[in-house]
Amino acid sequence: MAEAASRASALRADLIAGIALAAFAIPGSMAYAGLAGLPPQAGLYAYLVAGPLFALFTSSRHVAVGPTSSISMMVAAALAPLAGDDPVRYGQLAAATALMVAAISLVAWVLRLNQLVNFISEPILIGFKAGVALVIARKPTTPYAFSLSSASAKSSPRSGSPVIRSSRGS
């Protein structure tokens, strides 16, 4: 009986933790999608798929999965020249990139390559994070950067993205 009560208590704690994490991570995922030049819905759907899958495959209680500003900027910088001004192509390329990253992550998980992370030194990680912060800070703010609707923008959300515009040289 005590074991059942313990399991119920642990389940309740896990549910509360999951709701708290979702309340934090879902808006962040939507913002990072915008930083990558994608509509906010892309971040929402990506998190709703990736979050539960990560929970099924991981055994760590201290790790969360989701996009970061550095990943969003690298996606935008890499895909913008390939997509040109075609927002549909940009979305297709972003989806293909996400599927390739998922496949590579699955292979790395199967081969237990997580120990390779230990060979990346702390100064390298700090330098990378500082560089991303500087790139984000130097981006010009557009009049509609903080609006929730792309209807107020004169151009599409992708072509209006400061990250994509700067990667084209404008």
Confidence of residue 97 (pLDDT cuts 50, 70, 90): very high
- Whether the per-residue pLDDT at 99 is higher than 60: the answer is yes
- Tell me what pLDDT residue 90 has: 93
Q: Say what the pLDDT of residue 63 is.
A: 65
* d(C-alpha 73, C-alpha 163), whole Å: 7
Domain count, the chain: 1
Output the average pLDDT for the chain. 76
pLDDT for position 86: 92
Cα dihedral 91, 145, 126, 78, rounded to 10, equals 30
Higher pLDDT, 4 or 127: 127
Read off the pLDDT of residues 55-90 as tens digits, 9 standing for 90 and up: 777 766 666 666 777 788 888 889 999 998 899 999
| Secondary structure of the chain as H, E, C letters | CHHHHHHHHHHHHHHHHHHHHHHHHHHHHHHHHHHCCCCHHHHHHHHHHHHHHHHHHCCCCCCCCCCCHHHHHHHHHHHHHHHCCCHHHHHHHHHHHHHHHHHHHHHHHHCCHHHHHHHCCHHHHHHHHHHHHHHHHHCCCCCCCCCCCHHHCCCCCCCCCHHHHHHCCC
Q: Is 5's pLDDT higher than 90?
A: no
Residue 140 confidence class, pLDDT cut points 50, 70, 90: low
pLDDT at 96: 94
Would you state the pLDDT for residue 94? 92
Q: Among 40-44, 58-62, 89-93, 102-106, name the most confident range.
A: 89-93
Of the chain, the percentage scoring pLDDT greater than 70 comes to 75
Residue corresponding to tokens 């999951």: 18
pTM: 0.62
Give the domain extent around 136. 2-167
